Amino acid sequence: MPPEPAQHGPLPLTDTELADLSAALGRLAGGGPTVRRDGLATGLAEHFDVLNRVASGDLSARIQGDSPEEILRHLKAVTNKTIDQLAAALASKRRAEQLQMESERRYRSLFEKSADATLVIDRDRIIDCNEACLELFGCPSKEGFLSLRPADLTPEHQPAGQPSIDKVLALVREALRTGRRRFQLLHKRWDGATFHAEVFLTLIPVAKKRLLHAVLRDVTAAQTAAEEQRKLQFQLQQAQKLEAIGTLAGGIAHDFNNALGPIIGYTEMAMDDLEEGSATRRNLKHVLLSAERARALVQQIMAFSRDAGVEVAPLNATLVVAETVQLLRASLPTTIEIRTRLEERDTWVEANPSHIHQVVMNLCTNAAHALEAVGGGLLEVELESVLLAPEDVRQDLRLQAGPHVSLTVRDTGGGIPEAIRGRIFEPFFTTKEVGEGSGMGLAMVHGVVSDLGGAVRVESVVGEGTRFQVLLPRVHQGASYTRSSQPAVRQPGRGRVLLVDDEQIVVDFIGQALGRGGYQVTALTSSEDALALFARDPGAFDVVVTDQTMPRLTGLSLAERMLTLRPGLPVILCSGFSHSVTPEIAAAKGICTYLNKPFSIAELDAAVRGAVGER
């Protein structure tokens, strides 16, 4: 019988228990939780050391404590608990790693498959990009793209002139400071072509690095659309300004023309009563010239309105342009060279010769002033037939695609500064000294061209010159334009004229002019009285000459009532300005002649002779 073990002998552990405990404690080598019982602290490392000595045969090793069995139970409990905690921590770590790997897979999938160009920037280096980024920039390989710096994706300068590298570095610094940045920037493709891109920069801290996640979207089309919208808005504002001027013109033109008409008429009659070559006749001739200049100025102001009342018809613009340039040559200094290139075919437009004359004269005069300011230069005038495509007319409200006639006036002057380029068509805007220009020239050009359904385009470079292009719709060939000639000597007129105008001075002037021409004139200042007189005997008059703007009963209404009483009655309608009546409307109502105020005695005589059938 073996002897009983001593009370303080070796710990009685089975081989299986010892192996399990040794394996468990082996995983905790180096220290672990401490077993605490009655204030006695025993480290796991100490237990592990004792157990190893026992396992190796050293039965002298001892574990301090109350009893081996109690210590073993505590040791097992602590070990199992520690193992469970470590296993839970390990499982939690593995789950976190799996979630992180799954998140990274999702991010990489989104990064690669995103329709937006996406790249990652580390300071001044591009460290990653997706396929959409390569497509946007037209880069053939990812390796080639990653060899670039952010500034390499832009042209040398931005549209405002700032170096792109300075702009890019400033934006990157701002994104790193604030955490995000959104902006638009001009970029450059692999082949050198440029495009506008909207960029979103977001700061992404990774480990000890501060990376920038960049998303780019090509907004060139949107930028172009916005620019076209801005131009259309500007054209609309210009049209509204000109419409306001047209309203102003309507308010003053009637009264001004009524005052100007008698000045012209009485001056002509006074000149007829004086001997040719007399000093008084020469003086009156200067009065008449000044009145004609005032008349032309009113016509320029009225050109802003479609109610200007000037008859239009198909004409060959080449003949009018050539004639105007020929007249202009004599007035320009020899330091200005004029070159012309005028097509002779397919240059027909719907206009009045005065329209084309005024447009060419004002554009060339404006160019001549620019050339004189730099000591001379070249003035070119070109006229040609062009075909406008739909994309050519998007920026012009009045133009439609199709055949047009293009008039170009180009000079090598000092150019127009960008700061005032948007105001050059404004009425009364001028950069000239007082007395050198009224500011009406280009405004009149814009008004006339708009009235004819065309558009004016301008290009200018400071220090190089300016180019104006007038585009007018082309029409089919009509009657040839010929230069006006002096009217032939007329025989005294015959006929009875009913004259109606609410301005006494106008009635006196026209009545006297017609009386001197041989007509019998009955003049009234009330349209209602004129209607009553006519109604008593509709056949008493051969022709009626009436003003349009009169109180209670307008000239057109008066004519309509008279025509009801006597169909076919010759009626001449005179108007200084009218928003509601045009030559076309008047003709549709049965008016035989529409006469614009102020008119000369010769024009009045021709209208009356034509109405009564005289030659």
pLDDT computed for residue 11 by the predictor:
42
380: pLDDT strictly greater than 60: yes
Confidence of residue 35 (pLDDT cuts 50, 70, 90): very low
Tens of pLDDT, residues 39-48: 333 455 565 5
536: pLDDT strictly greater than 90: yes
Look at residue 598 and give its three-state secondary structure. Answer: coil
Q: Which neighbouring-strand residues pair with 118?
A: 215
Q: Does 615 or 249 have the greater pLDDT score?
A: 249
| pTM as predicted | 0.43
Cβ proximity of 41 and 34 under 8 Å: yes
pLDDT computed for residue 484 by the predictor:
42
30: pLDDT strictly greater than 60: no
- C-beta neighbour count of 544 within 10 angstroms: 27
Q: Does 303 or 364 have the greater pLDDT score?
A: 364
Q: Which neighbouring-strand residues pair with 537?
A: none
> Which of 102-106, 263-267, 375-379, 451-455 has the highest mean predicted lDDT (pLDDT)?
375-379
For residue 613, give every residue at least 6 positions away whose Cβ sits within 8 Å of its Cβ, in sequence order, or none.
none
d(CA 575, CA 583): 10
Per the structure block, which two tokens stand in for 12?
């009685």
pLDDT computed for residue 424 by the predictor:
77
d(CA 72, CA 151): 71
d(CA 244, CA 426): 11
Per the structure block, which two tokens stand in for 497?
């004229």
Closest by CA to 553, choosing from 529, 586, 537, is: 529
Tens of pLDDT, residues 311-321: 678 889 999 89
pLDDT computed for residue 245 by the predictor:
63
Q: At what angle do helices 504-516 and 601-612 cross, to 10 degrees?
A: 70
Q: Classify each residue of 286-295 as buried b or exposed e, where b means 16 or more C-beta atoms within 10 Å of its C-beta.
A: eebeebeebb
Cβ proximity of 351 and 319 under 8 Å: no
Average pLDDT of the residues in 572-596: 84
d(CA 244, CA 557): 27
Tens of pLDDT, residues 492-528: 778 899 999 988 988 988 999 898 888 999 999 999 9
> Which of 4-8, 110-114, 253-257 has the highest mean predicted lDDT (pLDDT)?
110-114
Q: Does 208 or 149 have the greater pLDDT score?
A: 149
383: pLDDT strictly greater than 90: yes
**Maximum separation of any 2 CA atoms in the chain, in Å:** 176
- C-beta neighbour count of 277 within 10 angstroms: 7
Percent share of the chain, pLDDT over 90: 23
Least confident among 234-248, 403-417, 600-614:
234-248
Tens of pLDDT, residues 82-103: 677 777 777 777 787 777 777 6
d(CA 324, CA 342): 12
Average pLDDT of the residues in 164-173: 89
- C-beta neighbour count of 430 within 10 angstroms: 17
pLDDT computed for residue 553 by the predictor:
92
Q: What is the DSSP letter of 395?
A: T
Closest by CA to 261, choosing from 11, 533, 525, 511, is: 511
Q: ω before 598 within 30° of 0 (cis)?
A: yes
Percent share of the chain, pLDDT over 70: 75
Cβ proximity of 559 and 571 under 8 Å: yes
pLDDT computed for residue 371 by the predictor:
92
pLDDT computed for residue 366 by the predictor:
86
Closest by CA to 129, choosing from 219, 212, 220, 218, is: 212
- C-beta neighbour count of 20 within 10 angstroms: 14
Tens of pLDDT, residues 197-220: 999 999 988 777 889 989 999 988
577: pLDDT strictly greater than 90: no
Q: How far is CA 333 from CA 111, 119, 366, 378, in A?
A: 70, 63, 14, 12
- Name the pairing type of β-strands 194-206 and 34-37: unpaired
Least confident among 4-18, 343-357, 562-576:
4-18
- Name the pairing type of β-strands 348-351 and 313-316: antiparallel
78: pLDDT strictly greater than 60: yes
24: pLDDT strictly greater than 70: no
Q: Does 2 or 123 have the greater pLDDT score?
A: 123
Angle ∠(84,88,92) on CA atoms, nearest 5: 170
Q: Classify each residue of 450-463 as buried b or exposed e, where b means 16 or more C-beta atoms within 10 Å of its C-beta.
A: bbbbbbbeeebeee
Angle ∠(563,565,570) on CA atoms, nearest 5: 35
Closest by CA to 484, choosing from 344, 389, 565, 600, is: 600
Provide the mean pLDDT of the chain. 79
**Cα first-last separation, the chain:** 168
